[in-house]
Structure 1
């Protein structure tokens, strides 16, 4: 660690962090997760990530641990720990596939399903707050730009939603 009196290299001192798209996206994502966690902890006793996982399993988008790891960009051991916590809480179970015994699917318990059903309203409430003052057209444009970023990354799932959707919903 450099002493406080030594000058910063220009690569650091000249970089405008607040103008970095990556930094701004990361900050927005962190803010959204924190606001959702405040609600989910107060109302459900779980984190936003746990609630999101329950929703993903309920929706059928992610029904095995590997899919969750890919979706959230976290390693398999972290997903296993998350699943262990949710299973211990009685919110989901692991079910071995009858077709392929190597495959372990995730299934929600009734309590897990009850929580998953509540998640969209919580996500929407936070987004409505954060997107306050945005016009429906601006929200649509933001979503379109974010889909293009995902497409540029090679993420083909960004194309699964029609980019000409109506602007009735803010999320």
Structure 2
């Protein structure tokens, strides 16, 4: 008979720790977004478009949410709020690109410093080398997680 796992083992598991930290960070930032009238998912779309303008839904799904149907609903809402617009591609008339409107860009530029402030709080007490190592490790974890799709 196997020995039952101790709770400490769960609390040290990397997926558990990432989820726990991510939830806490996301909840805190979602509260900060309320005065701006955006949800966390909507902010991810706006932030992605601020840094990489005029993306297709497929491109946005890599940065905002992998669920294309949820992403389409988010785009619809942001379009109704006149924060984003759909544009036909200049090179491929069938392709639609999503872009921030001037109103959307102005809003995103007002929110970006709030995000940077949250990041600064999260990283307080970390040495610059540790921050770079953390970024490198998180990128590698994300890359490795792709192999999990094949296990399902």
Q: TM range, normalised to the smaller chain?
A: 0.7 to 0.9
Q: TM-score, normalised by structure 1?
A: 0.73
Report the 3-state secondary structure (helix = DSSP H, G, I; strand = E; otherwise coil) of the residue aligned with 2:59: helix
> Are 1:14 and 2:5 matched, yes or no?
yes
- Aligned mates of 1:48, 1:39 — CA distance in 2: 10
Aligned equivalents of 1:64 and 1:39: distance in 2? 28
Q: Choose between structure 1 and 2: higher helix proportion.
A: 2
Unaligned runs of 5+ in 1: 1-8, 156-171
Between the aligned partners of 2:145 and 2:54, the Cα distance in structure 1 is 20
Counterpart of 1:23 (choices 10, 16, 19) is 16
TM-score calculated relative to the size of structure 2:
0.81
- Structure 2 unaligned blocks of 5 or more: 148-152
2:70 alignment partner, one of 63, 78, 87: 78
Cross-structure match for 1:52: 44
Distance in 2 between residues matched to 1:118 and 1:28, nearest whole Å: 25
Q: Cα gap change, 1:118/1:139 in structure 2, threshold over 3 Å: closer, same or farther?
A: same
Provide the aligned length of Structure 1 versus Structure 2: 145
Give the secondary-structure state (helix, strand or coil) at the position aligned to 1:106.
strand
Tell me, yes or no, if structure 1 residue 109 matches structure 2 residue 101: yes
Supply the RMSD in Å over aligned alpha carbons: 2.5
Shift of 1:47: 1.5
Relative to structure 1, the CA distance from residue 126 to residue 151 in structure 2 (aligned partners, 3 Å threshold; closer, same or farther) is same
**Offset of residue 10 of structure 1:** 6.0
Contact kept in structure 2, 1:95 and 1:107, CA below 8 Å = yes
